[in-house]
Amino acid sequence: MKKTIKTIAIAVLMISTLSAFSQKGKYGVTPEDSVSCIENLSVYMNPYFSGGDYKEAVKYWRVCFNTCPKASKNMYINGAKMYKQFIKETEADSTKKALLDTLLMIYDQRIANFGEEGKVLEKKGADYLRYNKESPELANEILKKAVELRNNDLGPGAAFSYYKSYYKMLQQKKVDKVVLIEQYLPLMEIVDFNINKYKAEGNEKYVGYWEGTKSNIDKYFMAIAKPQDIVGAFQPKFEANPKDTILLQQIVSVLEKKEKDGGTEVELYKNAATNLCEVSPSFTCLMALGGLNSKNKNYADAYLFFKQAAELGKTDDEKINSNLKAAQVAYNLKQYSSTRTHCRAILAVNPNYGEAYLLIGDCYSSTKFGENELEKKYVYWAAMDKYSKGKSVDPSIAEKASKKYARAKANGPSKELLFQYGMIDKPSVTVGGWINETTAVRVPQ
């Protein structure tokens, strides 16, 4: 088998030798190098590498690596794949170290011969972190350079490995956790940039990759950062630059991550959000001030902030979250028409957002008008329509919707009242006032 393959490779070589020499040493320095290179490239790749026999393939691969380093970029990609497999299969620490050294050398030689430094350093740093548990700071140095070179072009795996390297350094007491807090913010800018980019492109696969990266980084951040740590890290920066838009956005964003731990209750959050809205009114600061006022039950001001945020929302999530907050505080203010307006804005983005239907139903149930005892109860039928609709589009709220439906039904017109007003045989009625909807007549059994 080997002899046949070599014979074929030599035959191909006879045809391609002149072309090979014309490519400035691509296949080696001497004619003999070229013969050896082309022959071994063919043999290592097929049948061995393509067949998964890496132990045999690497014998021929090494010849190519040493003889003709400029022959093929795939040679480095395949070499890395083989050596990572060898590391996984090896138990002896000394052998693992030697294999890792070779893997790192493969990455270095790929950069030297084919460039793409930032892209290759992503892989080198991630693998160093994976296979060398004792020195995360060395992996961090590699990944830091990759981040500097790649910025928003960084890959999701490298972004996570970069933050993970800091976390491992913290575990080994090689950095303070304030470093992880500071590094979290610029890294999240890269993550969010890519999530929004791939959402705009409709690339669900990469949206999933980046959202997974965001979730994994958040787990580390949430594990180490407490509101007082964040304040300690950013209070001096805030005092030095109280109108720095980027800094203010970072402070607001990171403290909101710790809302359950009181992050939005610290004075720094309020001051940063207030300054941010003064310097550069944005979705972020408006939502922050809306939240602060809502917590203090200052619903009138909260509503104004949430309403402005809804007008600035760009992504689907921003539109839904801001309109939901605006709807909730409008409901607390008994501004039911405004509540419905914001709920309808939510449903324009996501027709299956069941909570919006429930909130509209609550507004109907809470409304008091009508010229007689019967008409005053029509609102409960209108509410039942919304509760039923919410349940049908969003099974996750089925239990809540059913309870609300049952209460509205119990408060609706009795059979006797319908009979009294001659409505037993009517198919539908129009609920007046701001509701202005037609609903079916329901005769209790």
pLDDT digits (tens, 9 = 90+) for 299-348: 999 999 999 999 999 999 999 999 999 999 999 999 999 999 999 999 99
Cis peptide before 242 (omega within 30 of 0): no
DSSP helix/strand/coil, 370: coil
* CB environment 129-165: b (16+ within 10 A), e (fewer): bebeeebbeebbebbbbbbebbeeebbbebbbbbbbb
Helix (H) or strand (E) holding 428: strand 428-431
Percent of the chain clearing pLDDT 90 (strictly above): 56
Residue 20: pLDDT above 70?
no
Kindly indicate the confidence band of residue 375, based on its pLDDT and cuts at 50, 70 and 90.
very high
DSSP helix/strand/coil, 176: coil
Specify whether the CB–CB gap between 208 and 233 falls below 8 A. no
Kindly indicate the confidence band of residue 430, based on its pLDDT and cuts at 50, 70 and 90.
very high
Q: How far is CA 108 from the centre of its chain?
A: 31
Structure confidence at residue 8 (pLDDT): 44
Secondary structure of 121-161 in the HEC alphabet? HHHHHHHHHHHCCCCHHHHHHHHHHHHHHHHHHCCHHHHHH
Rounded-to-integer distance, Cα 6 and Cα 197, Å = 49
Structure confidence at residue 336 (pLDDT): 97
In Å, what is the CA distance from 169 to each residue of 135, 222, 232, 234, 405? 8, 17, 20, 21, 55
**Which of 269, 280, 345 lies closest to 307 in space, CA to CA?**
345
In Å, what is the CA distance from 273 to each residue of 135, 264, 295, 307? 39, 10, 15, 16
Phi, psi (degrees; rounded to nearest 5) at 68: -140, 70
Structure confidence at residue 28 (pLDDT): 64
Sequence-ordered list of residues with C-beta below 8 angstroms from that of 374, at least 6 positions apart, any chain: 413, 417, 418, 420, 421, 423
**Which of 162, 159, 169, 108 lies closest to 137 in space, CA to CA?**
169
Which tens digit of pLDDT belongs to each residue from 247-261? 888 888 888 888 888
**Which of 377, 368, 365, 369 lies closest to 420 in space, CA to CA?**
377
Kindly indicate the confidence band of residue 35, based on its pLDDT and cuts at 50, 70 and 90.
confident
Structure confidence at residue 234 (pLDDT): 85
Kindly indicate the confidence band of residue 24, based on its pLDDT and cuts at 50, 70 and 90.
low
Averaged pLDDT, 201-209: 92
Percent of the chain clearing pLDDT 70 (strictly above): 93
Averaged pLDDT, 186-210: 90
Averaged pLDDT, 240-247: 88
Within 10 angstroms of residue 94's Cβ, the number of other Cβ atoms is 8
- Cα dihedral 35→38→43→46 (10° resolution): -160
Helices (H), 367-435: 378-393, 398-411, 415-420
Structure confidence at residue 326 (pLDDT): 97
Residue 14: pLDDT above 60?
no
Residue 13: pLDDT above 70?
no
Evaluate if pTM is beyond 0.75. Answer: no
**Which of 84, 72, 85 lies closest to 42 in space, CA to CA?**
72
